[in-house]
A and B are shown apart, each in its own frame.
Chain A
Amino acid sequence: MTAPTTTTINVTDAIKQALTEEMRRDARVVSFGEGVATRYQDLVQEFGPLRIRNTPLAEGIIAGTAAGAAATGLRPVIDLLFTPFICYAMEELVNSAGKLRYISGGQFSFPLVATAWTGSGFTVGAQHNHNIEAWFVHSPGLKVVMPSNPADFKGLLKAAIRDDNPVMYFIDMPLLFQEGEVPEGDHVVPIGQAATVRRGTDVTFVTYAKMVHTCLQAAETLAEGGVSAEVIDLRSLKPWDEGAVLASATKTGRVVVVHEASRTCGMGAEIAATIGERVFGELKGPVVRIAGPDTPPPSSYALEQAFLPQPDAIVAAAKKLLG
């Protein structure tokens, strides 16, 4: 088998490439949201104005429309812009898309993808940046993905569009212009499968999105001191790859979970609890969380950096575990 041809593109283009390919592949795929048609004039040309649409600034009805369309045969990809705006769409995403399959006894399915930007780095402040991914992990019937690199952004969007369930697709904003090798054509990353992005034996960093790169920096620093850190990029948060995480926890016996989202009831709590329940006997120390504080995400660049987990803190946590 020959390796697929790759091109170097950024995350923004990888997302568009995935959407374009899926719209060519399946006439049921439609996309709408605030400025979608404005941004994707060429897709309007290619697919027509019924499949790519602008909407009013009304997140509730964008999400509700997606749920109604999904229940009746379309596969909508909606752009809700920034995660705090999703608060207007919680009813439609949580009560309709997430619950109505169950409530209807399986009569209907809701194949839709809701995308939104989040993440510190652009100093946009707490009403344009809020890592709320755990809210949806806690809501039944939804899936949640949060990629870290251009290839995964493409592959997970394609998987999300093909999935018969509602998928929340979170885009860590500072990654939008990150470039990387992206396989051309049908590159699909299965939802629920983590990637071990660095192999190691002494300590495991479990993380996702932008923090993958922070953890890789920390791992580099540790390597200089002879410590071998493994870095697991979850990629999917619901379902999350328990098998990969537990195997690595068993191997290294030391786990640091790192995410930008606020610490309390974040993904890290779930991951730490699961490791404790399942492989407690293999651990050489407690599972440690490095996460954002329980504050609104700040705007000032200096405060954003103070909010974000930094490589130094991760290195220190690893060293403490190593004793």
Chain B
Amino acid sequence: MIETSPALGPKAMLETMMLIRAYEEHNVAAQQAGGPGTCTSVGQEAAAVGVVRALGPNDLILTNHRSAGHLLARGADPGRMLAEVGGKATGYCKGKSGNLHISVKELGIILTSTIVGGELSLAPGVGMSLQMQGEGRIVACLFGDGAACEGVFHESLNIAAVWNLPILFVCENNQWQAMVSRKQTMLTDHISDRAAAYGIEGKTVDGNDVEAVYAAAAEAVAKVRATSKPFLLETYTYRTRGHYEPDDQAYVDKDELASWKAKDPIQGLSKRLQERGALTPAQLEEIQERVKDTIARAADFAQESPYPTPDEVLTDVYA
């Protein structure tokens, strides 16, 4: 079920962000208990939810290894996601993806690439299919500032611009490229500045403010749909956990991390909604409980699910 109506409002977006956080924290705890490693998107929930909620039900998504937020915002079942993370047969990819490249065809999540930039290389082809179908659908391609330093970033945006492909490129600039600060790999602060070089429109938005992200994304989606031209949206945010779990983040500047944690997207929205009288502490508590329960049930489902049978190692190689 893909719920994309903006009428769902900021409270629904808050709940999705909290679900993503709880999902990621579950995986962190599971890893600490001896489970598989994971690349979390903690701190980037607003960037994920604001963009994905702005897409139409028939639009498509290409994403990257830090994709849990995109999948959950699109309505993916956390139980099937956790089953996939655990390599279980009930996972979205029958346990053949693991947590790094979950795709969900029924939700329009075509592919999650864990080769940094892989999603950028696939995007023009998806855009080409949609262009030829002529039904006004678009594809959102979500990548990070690390991918924006790959050569394929240039190739992808260039051909998308030349061919007028309906692609919303979204760079979640989370300031980290694995264990290297973006400041060591780029001289400029904003990926969106590069849009001009391709003759397309670009914009940077506060990626920790889900309402701002949603507004910017909705406007960009409408433009892409109306013009069939790509748009480069940058959600400026911060990865508050390490590259993967476990990661002690010894390489992270403590003051920088603290300043971004103070801008936590979930706390920020929660505070704003309470100030506006749109959310009571009791309602917040209720959401927290619901999210906790959802993840607990998802974890149970994953835990109880069977592993794939050994013969599955040979299936799905060829169509």
Query: How far does the alpha carbon of A63 sit from the alpha carbon of B122 in the complex, in Å?
Result: 9
B-contacting 9-mer, from A54-62, A202-210, A228-236: A54-62
Chain B proximity mask over A100-126: 1 for CB below 8 Å, otherwise 0: 111111111111000000000000000
Known: A60-B155, A72-B60, A108-B105. A100 touches B318 (CB 8 A): no
Q: Measured between alpha carbons, how far is A31 from B118 in the docked complex, in Å?
A: 21
User: Known: A69-B126, A74-B132. Is A105-B94 also a contact (CB below 8 A)?
Assistant: yes
A100 x B124 contact (CB < 8 A): no
Is there contact, CB below 8 Å, between B122 and A64? yes
Interface string of B100-140 (1 = CB under 8 A from A): 01011100001101010110111111111111110000000
Interface status of B319 (Cβ within 8 A of chain A):
yes
The chain B residue sitting closest to A66, CB to CB, is B125
Q: Which residues of A contact B60 (CB under 8 A)?
A: 72
Q: What residue in chain A is nearest B158 (Cβ atoms)? A: A56
Docked-complex contact B105 and A111, CB < 8 angstroms = no
C-alpha gap A133/B120 in the complex (Å): 26
| Distance between Cα atoms of A236 and B152 in the complex (Å) | 31
Which of B94, B118, B132, B159 touches A96 (beta carbons < 8 Å)? B118
Taken together as a complex, chains A and B put the C-alpha atoms of A103 and B111 apart, in Å, by 10
Complex CA–CA separation, A106 to B133 (angstroms): 24
Which residue from chain B places its CB closest to the CB of A140 in the assembled complex? B317
* Count of residues in A whose CB is under 8 Å from the partner chain: 43
Contacts of A50 in B (CB 8 A): 131-132
Query: What residues of B have a CB within 8 angstroms of the CB of A30 in the complex?
Result: 128, 132
Most chain B CB within a 10 A radius of its CB, from A53, A63, A107, A165:
A107
Q: How many A-B residue pairs have CB under 8 A?
A: 152
The answer to whether residues A102 and B123 also contact, given A61-B159, A68-B128, A72-B60 and a CB cut-off of 8 A, is no
Q: How far is the CB of A49 from chain B (nearest CB, A)?
A: 10
Residues of B within 8 A of A61 (CB): 121, 124, 152, 155-156, 158-159
Complex Cα spacing A129 to B62, Å: 35
Q: How far is the CA of A63 from the CA of B156 in the complex (A)?
A: 11
B316 contacts A by Cβ under 8 Å? yes
A71 to B125, CA, bound (A): 8
CB of A96 to closest CB in B, whole Å: 6
B126 pairs with A68, CB closer than 8 A = yes
Report the minimal beta-carbon distance from B306 to chain A, rounded to whole angstroms: 14
CA distance A77 to B319 in the complex (A): 18
Is A55 in contact with B96, judged by CB distance below 8 angstroms? no
Question: Which B residues are in CB contact (< 8 Å) with A95?
Answer: 113, 115, 118
- Beyond A66-B125, A68-B62, 20 additional contacts (C-beta under 8 Å) are A30-B128, A30-B132, A55-B159, A56-B162, A61-B156, A64-B152, A64-B156, A65-B124, A65-B128, A68-B125, A68-B126, A68-B129, A71-B125, A95-B113, A95-B115, A96-B115, A96-B122, A103-B93, A104-B111, A106-B315
- Counting from the closest, the 7 A-B pairs by CB-CB distance are A68-B125, A64-B121, A69-B125, A105-B94, A61-B155, A105-B93, A68-B122
16 chain-A/chain-B pairs, Cβ below 8 angstroms? A51-B132, A56-B158, A60-B155, A61-B152, A61-B158, A68-B124, A68-B125, A69-B125, A71-B122, A74-B132, A91-B117, A96-B111, A104-B103, A107-B103, A111-B319, A140-B317
